[in-house]
Structure 1
Amino acid sequence: MSHYKIAPSILAADYANFEKELKRLEKTGVEYVHIDVMDGHFVPNISFGADVVAAMRPHSKLVFDCHLMVSNPENHIETFARAGADILTIHAEATVHLHGTLQKIRAAGMKVGVVINPGTPLVTIEPVLNLVDQVLLMTVNPGFGGQAYIPEVAEKIADLVKLREAKGLNFDIEVDGGIDDKTIHSAKNAGANVFVAGSYLFKGDLDANVAKLRAALHD
């Protein structure tokens, strides 16, 4: 899994100008845009839902990497499929029907992702790793942008790489939270290959900050 991808988080963008922000992202050459969906229940914050995803979809060819931080995500799969999500990632902690929910995401025509919080052990998702295209490991506790990277998650990333190899699987390992041109080294060296970054990219010169992250990945 040597192909590195940067996934800018729209959570840190200008909410009044999503169309313009998507065009800015495309010009940087990134492949993904990470869309954080929060319900105010599973996490304390509220962000945006499928209607916003649907409104953005005609304005971008980027991969829409939708991260559902919502309770009972199984209730929202078809809605996000219709809205134009390419990848739908759900929290293992948010549903008692994890296996079936992941299967429903695949059946709806999207790529399948599962995510766990920093304090959740890998054993929670081990039984479903054969169902996913992507595992997202939170490197902050979810809910708000601008938090500091939790370096201890690097050990979990490395353990997940070993688990992937032992099972002969081929999913991406994504990290989300506190990623900048310094912390990205920790996640990359542990084995992650998809990097969500929000505050770091959008505060300041977007083009320059994407370039700095790319350079850090090849140091």
Structure 2
Amino acid sequence: MNAKFSPSLMCMDLTRFREQIEAMNDKAAFYHVDIMDGSYVKNITLSPFFIENLRKITDVPIDVHLMVNHPEDIIPMCLEAGADIISFHPETANNKIFRLLMQIKEAGKRCGVVLNPATPAAAIMEYAHLLDKVTVMSVDPGFAGQQFIPQTLDKIRQLIRLREQHGWRYLTEIDGSCNAATFGQIAASGVEVFIVGTSGLFSLADDMNDAWARMEANFSQQIAAA
């Protein structure tokens, strides 16, 4: 399986920002940047300023996940800061989804949406042809370290079936509790991109090269055992 890994940078050691990014630059398929506003979710994390500084030290695509009530306010700042992919929750933009997706695409960047555990796959039907990526939350949004919700894997399978039936081209991605305990069952869903955070990557070793090697070993062992 040719899995793609996207480190969740809200989980990294920010006191070692350059060191850890430079260690991952030749390994990561994407860098996942969570922006939370303290309103849509009760947490505040990274920012367009973080994207701007990340852009200075990497060519890896920067994938922004907006957990905010007004994505229209943040999207222009993310574009200006150097984001490559911007995704938001459809619940926050029901009356402007097409406009926001086209704004991102017209800037020459990729766009996506993020589906909460309780949001069905069918929610994307009207605009799926515009999407470059669909992210499925396998935990409720807002905080790291939550318990994995296995029912979300059926949603990934549905999204892949819909993509094949309609000729759409979005990547499927999973966000939440991707680690040695869940890699096998997640991979069996067919998902292409794994977002890895504290339990899946950053807590595995102090040295980032060692942590990445252990993550890949955990993934391979889980695939072999499945």
TM-score normalised to structure 1 length? 0.93
State whether residues 7 and 33 of structure 1, in contact with CA within 8 Å, keep that contact through their aligned partners in structure 2: yes
Q: Look up the match of 2:174.
A: 175
Distance (Å, rounded) in 1 between the aligned partners of 2:221 and 2:41: 31
Which segments of structure 1 move beyond 3 Å, counting only runs of 4 or more?
A: none
Distance (Å, rounded) in 1 between the aligned partners of 2:49 and 2:222: 34
Structure 1 position 108, deviation (Å): 1.7
Runs (5+) with no aligned partner, structure 2: 206-210
Q: Which of residues 89, 92, 117 in structure 2 aligns to 1:91?
A: 89
**Secondary structure of the structure 2 residue equivalent to 1:127:** coil
Runs (5+) with no aligned partner, structure 1: none
State whether residues 12 and 202 of structure 1, in contact with CA within 8 Å, keep that contact through their aligned partners in structure 2: yes
State whether residues 137 and 174 of structure 1, in contact with CA within 8 Å, keep that contact through their aligned partners in structure 2: yes
State whether residues 157 and 191 of structure 1, in contact with CA within 8 Å, keep that contact through their aligned partners in structure 2: yes
Q: Look up the match of 1:17.
A: 16
1:207 equivalent in alignment to 2:205: no
Q: Which amino acid aligns with 1:181?
A: A
**Secondary structure of the structure 2 residue equivalent to 1:60:** coil
Structure 1 position 187, deviation (Å): 2.0
Cα gap change, 1:38 to 1:213, in 2 (>3 Å): farther
Q: Look up the match of 1:75.
A: 73
1:46-74 CA distance string (max 9 Å, x none): 00210111011111121111111111112
Q: Look up the match of 1:54.
A: 52
State whether residues 184 and 216 of structure 1, in contact with CA within 8 Å, keep that contact through their aligned partners in structure 2: no
State whether residues 134 and 171 of structure 1, in contact with CA within 8 Å, keep that contact through their aligned partners in structure 2: yes
State whether residues 40 and 46 of structure 1, in contact with CA within 8 Å, keep that contact through their aligned partners in structure 2: yes
**Secondary structure of the structure 2 residue equivalent to 1:7:** strand
Q: Which amino acid aligns with 1:50?
A: P
Q: Which amino acid aligns with 1:156?
A: K
TM-score normalised to structure 2 length? 0.90
Distance (Å, rounded) in 2 between the aligned partners of 1:58 and 1:6: 21
| Alignment: residue pair count | 217
Structure 1 position 214, deviation (Å): 4.5
Distance (Å, rounded) in 2 between the aligned partners of 1:217 and 1:88: 30
Q: What is the RMSD computed on CA atoms of the aligned residues?
A: 1.6
Cα gap change, 1:104 to 1:213, in 2 (>3 Å): farther
1:116 equivalent in alignment to 2:115: yes
Structure 1 position 216, deviation (Å): 4.6
State whether residues 86 and 104 of structure 2, in contact with CA within 8 Å, keep that contact through their aligned partners in structure 1: yes
Distance (Å, rounded) in 2 between the aligned partners of 1:193 and 1:127: 23
Q: Which amino acid aligns with 1:56?
A: L
